[in-house]
Structure 1
Amino acid sequence: MKLTKTLLSLAVGASLLALAGCGSDSDSDDEEDTSDVYTLQLLHFADVDGAPGAIDEVDRFSALVEAFRGMEDNTLLVSSGDNVIPGPRYFAASDSSLADVLGVPGNGRVDIAFMNALGVSASVIGNHDLDGGPAEFASMLTAETDGANRYEGAAFPFVSANLDVSTESSLAALAVAGGQAPASAAGKIAPSAIVTIGGQQIGIVGASTPALASITSTGNITITPPVVADENELYDDLAAVIQPAVDDLVDAGVNKVVLLAHMQQIAIEKALATRLNNVDVIVAGGSNTLLADSDDDLRTGDVAADNYPLEFESPAGEPVLVVNVDGDYKYLGRLVLSFDENGVIDTGALDPALNGAWASTEAMVRQLMGTVDSRVAAVSAAIRDVLAARDGNILGQTSVYLDGRREQVRTQETNLGNLSADANLWYAQKFDASTVISLKNGGGIRSAIGQVVQPPGSNDPADAQFEPTAANATVGKETGDVSQFDIEGSLRFNNSLALVTVTGAELRDLLEHAVAASADGATPGQFPQIAGMRFSFDPAMPARTTSDTNTGASTTGQRIRSLVVETGAGDVVIVRNGVLENGGTTYRLVTLGFLAGCMPTATEVGAASCGDGYPFKNLTTNLRSELSGESSSNDPGLADFAGYGSEQDAIAEYLQAEFDPAGTLSFSKAETDAATDERIQNLAVKTVDTVIVP
């Protein structure tokens, strides 16, 4: 944000502090505020779930929180989910060296320690919070003693009104009633919470995406409402589930309510804003949408998706605000609100000099005169030491930026998507030489491998330069080196690889699902990254609407216009001008175990749902083979930090074999824009379909 905005915010913040009197952010403050106008400073974040650079941002982020708390006593800090994700930081939290800062080390506990130190009052449950499974999620929330050491667990509750965790054995003991103070429900899971700040009660309600079961590990958690194809029907159903939790708070005398909504697509939070009564603010999560106002000073290369805050009207005609900022501790959202005596927001008092996305940069911390929280600094330093060793384990070389940005891998072919899909295909062929095609979801790629550099003197995002990885002299890493840390950060889930057999018709149906959610502004995790095939699609054509059961030639989708499989012996046309050809021919496909987990193996039944909703159920050959269950002698053995049969091992082995760390051959295929992509051709931006070679 501009210096003028910073100075103005300091001045106005001081004025607010004087007007507010001696309020407190303690949930035990029960002195009534008798003034007609109540001021609340809402600080918020989301999606801080493990990008490699996030650990370098959290110290400065804590300084922003400290600075703003010093300006306004009536401050509420919340998270709208995805606080953890299985990846480098998540697993490094189990290192024994972290006992000094965590008490008892354990997966994901570093991030909970950050949130405790920051003073978070509540968080909604995001999909990535459950990626390690319900039992591991419970371990992060629950205190644990090991001899003289003690891990304190979460000092705040997780809230979600549409999840019933009492049906999942590992979480049942954590389920409590809604409407409790955060301190009373710390480390528990509830529909809602009530925090008392400056003599006023603020209700906090949570809501998680109904699609949770298809994108994470939910165990036996009961999720409502069920997902339906009609979007408006789903939004109505979801609002009907959330509204009773809001009503319970209103019945308890609360007239100011914040909804923490983790919906993955901000369009859903927008839809909820016009369907819910007595909700004042919706803090969105899961979409990494950067909302900002006109005088926010954004980071290099960042562009606001829309204004901050977004303003809507409830069915009762009252204002509802929707806010969101980008994740990984890069931004702190700040919304200073004035409520009248009835708990209604005065939108005329919204001040862009105070509100917006505040970047956690050194310059901003200096301007705000913020102080880094010593507890955050101690934890970040300890985890940084553990991660540094992994950055020195070099697996390969690249001379280009490997594009794994969310807005890219979920909307178009990228060079990192191609590299990962190629690696999976190459690796799978070591186990089964008949494998010819590779399919993975773009949502499984969590970050780019490389750096974005802004030329000196330029603030224009269009001038940003995308370069290969930076050197790290302390561990012997040179520019362009791809390390274990880079791979773990980008492919954080480290999904298993699985082999399945599909017919041409079944492959087409899989790809119809892959592009079914593609639309302007959408970033669906199901969007594919592929190898061994090429296809074109038209997002203006009817999208597939059926379930995760494969319907083969009867697919309801009409978006795939051309599809070719590269067999090695020549191209086989599967779809031409939207018409199926060679639908009965079979192909061996390598995919992620997450996507095809609904299929049985030779020894195990499949999961209830296919990952990301992919239609792997009901294939003609209804059997998947996990590479990790095959003989390890098939593994090339060039890298050993990840288990064989996993996607991290596949790309590490592939880099070692093809783009070795000695630098004699670097990966050099630069990213291309969607108009020139060849594997995945979006006919909305590419005028000529070149999938089928005449």
Structure 2
Amino acid sequence: MSKISRRNLLKILGLGSAVTVTGSAARAQTATSGKVTLFTFLHSNDTHDHLEPTTVTGTGPDGKAFSVQYGGVARVKTLIDELKRRSINPVILDAGDVFTGTLYGQVYKGLADLAYMEAFGTQAQTIGNHEFDNGPAQLADYIKNASFPVVSANIDASGDEKLKGLIKPYTIVQTDNGPLGVIGVTTPDTPITSSPGDTVKFLDPRETVQKAADELRAQGINNIVLLSHLGYSVDLALAPQLKGVGVIIGGHSHTPLGKYEGLGLPASEGPYPTVLQDASGNPILIVQAWEWAKFYGSLRVGFNEEGVPQTWVGKVYPVTADYKNDIRLQATMRAFQLPLEAFRKTPVGTAAVKLNGDRPDVRKRETNLGNFISDAYLWATQKYGTQIALMNGGGIRASIAAGTVTNGDTITVQPFGNTVYVMDLTGQEIIAALENGVSDWANGAGRFLQVGGMRYSFDPTKAAGSRVLSAEIKQADGTFKAIDPAATYKVVTNNFIANGGDNFAVLKNARGFRQDTYLTDYVVVNDYFAFVKSANPVVEGRITIVNEPK
């Protein structure tokens, strides 16, 4: 979740940012709890069309290179079945953002996602902001075809003909241990980060969630869980303001929680569950399971008769090859996969000239393909007001020949499934990023930056860290103005370097607005090909090398 939207949302909620976070593997039943009702919440979030396993590479602690895979919905199905067999009263839930991220979403428009969600046995799902990426109509089709309820308390879709009447604030799931109230909530910055249009309104999260909880309790439903697509830090701020909600199952911020082991996994950002006190002083538990089906969460909670958590124990499971593919779901996924092979042959546009993505060039100097991709990023993020594009040369893996350009071509150029990322950077941070880009120029490191909306010069003979000689921002009239180190600029890049890849710690540590659009990089380039009709980018002096060694 972007920092600016988080701050704005905290203001909307009237919440401060100081929250005491605790965690516990389990809690003993209190003497006053009386009867305890057990539920096991099996949950996912932010799958983003990642139906196949994701490959993670790197160097292990022993210094050896590794390549491992996490995720894959057919593996998740096997894990779910295993957890169900050994769980008490399992309930299968999802915290949103099943749409947007891979070819499956682009081609099947949610149908492939619905197939695995049904196979999981999902009993309720909330709506993520990216469920609106293709407008309300696609979400409406998804909900109409789902056998499970899709809920969000703060979405008012009464003005949209497609969605009207489809989204309820909550549902009541009947389980072996009695009814469970499940409320949903969706980030109110969805109009900024997605495309819900003017017919869908997003209301105050705290007020709508509390209203839903009160309504459930008025019906005698005391055991209540919130499916939140607000982000972990917002959940931390929201939880102490609620009454009557025992558990928050989160999403949106792609936050890894808990204890786990595995090569290439990120550091945990908090305990699983994170334990706070609600507005009545009762425990309220917060969980989340990272992203892309690479983790899956299991939280067992014992509620007393008032719906207050008394006992809890939980774990996140990295989805590894130890979990074999479920045969039936794997066959279903293969049926979706086969047409993608034809999809890769589909034309997306025309190149009037060769677009140079040759490795020795994109990692050392300006190329026309680097310019084209940078311009595509700027074009696709106009609504954010982006001024500058930064594209690491290592993310450009091939050239494109003149003539017809296909999906296969653009996927080969950008094969990693990175997403387009918008962030605020100061002029000084941009200069530092450029310095990192040219810090290993002699070795042709992938960190070298292709750019849009600006130009810069550097001297590779100087010491690393002091090589950038000038950096100028392109103005509306086509002229250039020297970058102001103290000013803030809206920058578009990809999620890989935005999160610190290629040694871009300056981007990872930037504290201004940051928002992953979840627009896949090659799809943005495809759309730009369609926009320009016949691509004819040129090398125009965006990057100048001074004292280049012969």
Secondary structure class of the residue paired with 2:330: helix
After TM superposition, give the deviation of residue 530 of structure 1 in Å: 5.5
How do 1:353-372 and structure 2 match up within 5 A? 355-363=314-322, 365=323, 372=325
Matched, 1:193 2:171: yes
Pair 441,613 (structure 1): closer, same or farther in 2 beyond 3 Å: farther
8 Å Cα contact 2:46-2:98 kept in structure 1: yes
Secondary structure class of the residue paired with 1:358: strand
Structure-2 separation of matches of 1:440 and 1:217: 22
Structure-1 separation of matches of 2:473 and 2:327: 56
8 Å Cα contact 1:50-1:489 kept in structure 2: no
After TM superposition, give the deviation of residue 124 of structure 1 in Å: 0.9
After TM superposition, give the deviation of residue 195 of structure 1 in Å: 0.6
Amino acid of the residue matched to residue 155 of structure 1? S
8 Å Cα contact 2:247-2:284 kept in structure 1: yes
Secondary structure class of the residue paired with 1:362: coil
Secondary structure class of the residue paired with 2:284: strand
Secondary structure class of the residue paired with 1:244: helix
Amino acid of the residue matched to residue 64 of structure 1? L
8 Å Cα contact 1:291-1:356 kept in structure 2: no
Matched, 1:340 2:261: no
Counterpart in the other structure of 2:116 = 114
Structure-2 separation of matches of 1:419 and 1:258: 52
Structure-1 separation of matches of 2:38 and 2:189: 36
After TM superposition, give the deviation of residue 194 of structure 1 in Å: 0.6
Structure-1 separation of matches of 2:119 and 2:255: 25
8 Å Cα contact 2:426-2:485 kept in structure 1: no
Amino acid of the residue matched to residue 57 of structure 1? G
Counterpart in the other structure of 1:240 = 207
After TM superposition, give the deviation of residue 591 of structure 1 in Å: 8.8
What is the CA deviation profile of residues 69-119 of structure 1, one whole-angstrom value per residue up to 9, with x for unaligned ones? 1112501111110011164111332xxxxxxxxxxxxx2201011101111
After TM superposition, give the deviation of residue 590 of structure 1 in Å: 12
Matched, 1:327 2:291: yes
After TM superposition, give the deviation of residue 342 of structure 1 in Å: 2.8
Structure-2 separation of matches of 1:441 and 1:197: 51
Counterpart in the other structure of 1:250 = 217
After TM superposition, give the deviation of residue 123 of structure 1 in Å: 1.0
Amino acid of the residue matched to residue 565 of structure 1? I
After TM superposition, give the deviation of residue 199 of structure 1 in Å: 3.2
Structure-2 separation of matches of 1:285 and 1:419: 39
How do 1:115-514 and structure 2 match up within 5 A? 115-142=117-144, 153-172=145-164, 175=165, 188-225=166-203, 237-263=204-230, 265-293=231-259, 296-346=260-310, 349-351=311-313, 355-363=314-322, 365=323, 372-389=325-342, 422-424=371-373, 439=388, 484=411, 487=414, 490=417
Counterpart in the other structure of 2:79 = 64
How do 1:477-626 and structure 2 match up within 5 A? 484=411, 487=414, 490=417, 531-533=452-454, 564-565=472-473, 572-573=481-482, 575=484, 577=486
After TM superposition, give the deviation of residue 350 of structure 1 in Å: 3.2
After TM superposition, give the deviation of residue 421 of structure 1 in Å: 7.3
Pair 252,427 (structure 1): closer, same or farther in 2 beyond 3 Å: closer
- Please give the root-mean-square deviation of Cα atoms over the aligned residues, in Å: 4.8
Counterpart in the other structure of 2:105 = 90
What is the CA deviation profile of residues 147-167 of structure 1, one whole-angstrom value per residue up to 9, with x for unaligned ones? xxxxxx111111110111111
Amino acid of the residue matched to residue 371 of structure 2? D
8 Å Cα contact 1:387-1:485 kept in structure 2: no
After TM superposition, give the deviation of residue 220 of structure 1 in Å: 3.4
Amino acid of the residue matched to residue 256 of structure 1? N
Structure-2 separation of matches of 1:89 and 1:127: 18
After TM superposition, give the deviation of residue 247 of structure 1 in Å: 0.6
Amino acid of the residue matched to residue 286 of structure 1? H
Pair 429,440 (structure 1): closer, same or farther in 2 beyond 3 Å: closer
Pair 390,483 (structure 1): closer, same or farther in 2 beyond 3 Å: farther
8 Å Cα contact 2:51-2:72 kept in structure 1: no
What is the CA deviation profile of residues 147-204 of structure 1, one whole-angstrom value per residue up to 9, with x for unaligned ones? xxxxxx11111111011111111111xx1xxxxxxxxxxxx42100011211321110
Counterpart in the other structure of 1:179 = none
8 Å Cα contact 1:297-1:358 kept in structure 2: no
Structure-2 separation of matches of 1:392 and 1:357: 39
Structure-2 separation of matches of 1:579 and 1:66: 50
What is the CA deviation profile of residues 565-604 of structure 1, one whole-angstrom value per residue up to 9, with x for unaligned ones? 2689996225365599xxxxxxxx9999xxxxxxxxxxxx
Structure-1 separation of matches of 2:46 and 2:376: 31
Counterpart in the other structure of 1:11 = none
After TM superposition, give the deviation of residue 386 of structure 1 in Å: 2.7
8 Å Cα contact 2:38-2:301 kept in structure 1: yes
How many residue pairs were aligned? 405
After TM superposition, give the deviation of residue 52 of structure 1 in Å: 7.8
8 Å Cα contact 1:123-1:159 kept in structure 2: yes
8 Å Cα contact 2:127-2:152 kept in structure 1: yes
What is the CA deviation profile of residues 448-492 of structure 1, one whole-angstrom value per residue up to 9, with x for unaligned ones? 969xxxxxxxxxxxxxxxxx89xxxxxxxxxxx975277487367
Secondary structure class of the residue paired with 1:167: coil
Structure-2 separation of matches of 1:320 and 1:281: 6
Q: TM-score, normalised by structure 1?
A: 0.50
Pair 483,389 (structure 1): closer, same or farther in 2 beyond 3 Å: farther
What is the CA deviation profile of residues 622-648 of structure 1, one whole-angstrom value per residue up to 9, with x for unaligned ones? xxxxxxxxxxxxxxxxx9993554599
Structure-1 separation of matches of 2:319 and 2:246: 27
Matched, 1:642 2:526: yes
What is the CA deviation profile of residues 338-380 of structure 1, one whole-angstrom value per residue up to 9, with x for unaligned ones? 222332212xx434xxx221011122x27xxxxx444422221
Counterpart in the other structure of 1:20 = none
Secondary structure class of the residue paired with 1:490: coil
Pair 311,640 (structure 1): closer, same or farther in 2 beyond 3 Å: closer
8 Å Cα contact 1:261-1:283 kept in structure 2: yes
Secondary structure class of the residue paired with 1:387: helix
8 Å Cα contact 2:378-2:492 kept in structure 1: no
After TM superposition, give the deviation of residue 135 of structure 1 in Å: 1.0
Structure-1 separation of matches of 2:290 and 2:533: 30
After TM superposition, give the deviation of residue 649 of structure 1 in Å: 9.2
**Structure with larger RCO (C-alpha < 8 A, sep 6+):** 2
Structure-1 separation of matches of 2:312 and 2:524: 54
8 Å Cα contact 1:203-1:254 kept in structure 2: yes
